[in-house]
Amino acid sequence: MLWMVLAGCAVDYGVQGVPTSPGLPPTLPPTVPLDGGPDASTRGTAFVVGFMENLLLGVNGEPRFSLSVGADGPTEVVVRLPATGYEAVHTVDVGWTDLPLPDAVLYAQGSDVVGRQGVEVTTDAPVDLLAHHRRLYFSESTLVLPVDELGGRYRVPTLDAAAVGRSGFVVAASEDGTTVELTLSVDSMAAFPAGQPYTVELDAGETYQVLALGDLSGSLVVADAPVGVFGGGVDTFAGCPATSHAWDQILPTRRWGREHLFVPLHGQGGDQVVVVADEDGTEVQVGGTAVVLDAGDAWRGELPETTRILSSRPVGVAQVALGGDCTTSGLGDANLVVLPPLALYRDGADVYPLFDAEELAMPGDDQPLGALQGYAAAVGDGDAAVGASAWMDEGGARLDGHVRGVAFAVRSFDAHTFQLGWDCEGCVDALDP
């Protein structure tokens, strides 16, 4: 189904940070892909993954971790945990291949702690990579960015854990001797105060996890070497109970843009959106809602329909799936997925269903599965971009044109979401023309 771009009616949850008076013009100039600029691609040969703490161990079964590798032909895949010495070598063929990770707890526990469970993946040819953290009713997935797409500056979007649960993020180092400076938007659970920078040292394979009882959106991460940052919520909800796990890889600020197209997850009736700024005086227009954000501010609202998001300076945008009791289908649960700007795209995308009902089930599951899979995508460029969404059958879906999209799978009290990534030439120049 194709939806035309609409000026969405946003339910405005307000701005985290110092509010200012909006003065946004009715329309900002859209970003338009240019020719001749640097390449950008989420396909690569080196990746780092940092899993985030989930629900308390001992309930809802044991966590399971895995990877999905999308290859164009026979490819060698080496999976390592550099800090522990674990290594496994696999050969995958064309298409998608699921690879198990060790039967272990691959995340640190607690706030402001260094973990030794960072996962390093290298391949002898470019691949797409997904990572999965499965837990009974607390599952999540993410597209993993290659090291070439990482950066040294991030502003984090998370779920708002003010009502219940914990928001959080994880920093994963790709190099030894990496210095990371963190400035939090709220006090952490380990009493590191908001607004006061502090540093940690990480080696390759190490992670640093921060948790809070409030909303960590807008927290600043600065590193002197490329790092991966993964954020969301440990065990909180969006819109309505019950709690769930939300976890996705965050874009560095160098991959932010000034134009995004939000497309609701198909059949769910709408989602939340989080917009984060890195510069003072950033004017943001979300459909008919206008706000001004300073560096570290985050605006959160609920959108029922396809909505264009324009900004005067580059911003980060994340889409938050609502709890199942809030959705039209009655399926799914809170999840977070980062939305790339319109300037970053794939020239056509095959959306394959990576899960079936049996794979989504976990030991001890006594709920009806009711598993459905779908996509929500922005197709086209600039003012011509439209929203496309649909449920998928076993054959998946093919999207043509310039595509930025989200794939998702929902069932009773659980969901996975991940973006489709980008692979474009000359698109980086269009992020901030």
Q: Within a 13 Å sphere around the CA of 201, how many CA atoms are in the beta-carbon half?
A: 2
Residue 15 pLDDT exceeds 90: no
* Closest residue by Cα to residue 17 from 313, 317, 220, 293: 293
> 166 and 236 in contact (C-beta within 8 Å)?
yes
Into how many domains does the chain fold?
A: 1
Band of pLDDT at residue 239, cut at 50, 70 and 90: low
Residue 120 has pLDDT above 80, yes or no: yes
Kindly indicate the confidence band of residue 358, based on its pLDDT and cuts at 50, 70 and 90: low
Q: What is the mean pLDDT of residues 230-257?
A: 85
Q: Which range among 3-7, 41-45, 74-78, 360-364 shows the weakest confidence by mean pLDDT?
A: 3-7
* Phi-psi region at 58: left, alpha or beta (left = phi > 0; alpha = psi -120 to 50): left
pLDDT of residue 14: 56
Instruction: Give the 3-state secondary structure of residue 341.
Output: coil
Instruction: State mean pLDDT over 290-318.
Output: 96
pLDDT at 8 over 60: no
Q: CA separation (Å) from 186 to 154, 166, 197, 208, 215?
A: 16, 12, 12, 17, 7
Which one has a higher pLDDT value, 154 or 364?
A: 154
- Coil/strand/helix, residue 357: helix
Which pLDDT score is estimated for 12? 54
Average pLDDT over residues 20-38: 38
Q: Quick one: which of 41, 47, 252, 49 has its CA closest to 146? A: 47
Q: Contact, 270 vs 264, CB < 8 A? A: yes
Question: Predicted confidence band at 236 (pLDDT cuts at 50, 70, 90)?
Answer: confident
What's the pLDDT score for residue 168?
93
| Domain range for 170 | 2-430
Indicate the DSSP class of residue 254. Answer: G
Confidence bin at 363 (pLDDT 50/70/90): low
> Which residue has better confidence, 252 or 238?
252
Q: What integer best gives the mean pLDDT of the chain? A: 85
Instruction: Specify the pLDDT at position 270.
Output: 84
| Burial track 256-266 (b if 16+ CB lie within 10 A, e otherwise) | bbbbbbbbbbb
- With CA atoms as reference, report the closest residue to 235 among 155, 167, 317, 313: 167
What is the Cα 274 distance to its own chain's centre? 11
Tell me the pLDDT tens digit for each residue of 56-106: 777 777 888 999 999 999 999 999 999 999 999 999 999 999 999 999 988
Dihedrals phi, psi of 326, to nearest 5 degrees: -100, -5
pLDDT band at residue 22, thresholds of 50, 70 and 90?
A: very low
Identify the pLDDT of residue 16. 57
pLDDT in tens, 424-433: 988 888 888 7
What is the sign, positive or negative, of the torsion defined by CA atoms of 295, 167, 284, 390?
A: positive
192-204 pLDDT per residue, tens: 999 999 999 999 9
Please report, rounded to a whole number, the percentage of residues in the chain having pLDDT higher than 70: 85
pLDDT of residue 140: 84
> Could you tell me if 339 and 257 are in contact, meaning their C-beta atoms sit under 8 angstroms apart?
no
> Which tens digit of pLDDT belongs to each residue from 274-297?
999 999 999 999 999 999 999 999
Q: Model confidence at 372, in pLDDT bands (50, 70, 90)?
A: confident
What is the model's pLDDT at position 2? 26
pTM of the model: 0.89
More confident residue, 138 or 224: 224
Confidence check: pLDDT of 134 > 90: no
DSSP letters spanning 375-403: EEEEESSGGG-EEEEEEEBTTBEEEEEEE
Torsion of CA 220, 225, 228, 233, to 10 degrees: -30
- State residue 27's pLDDT score: 37
Whole-number pLDDT of residue 351? 87
Q: What is the pLDDT of residue 99?
A: 94
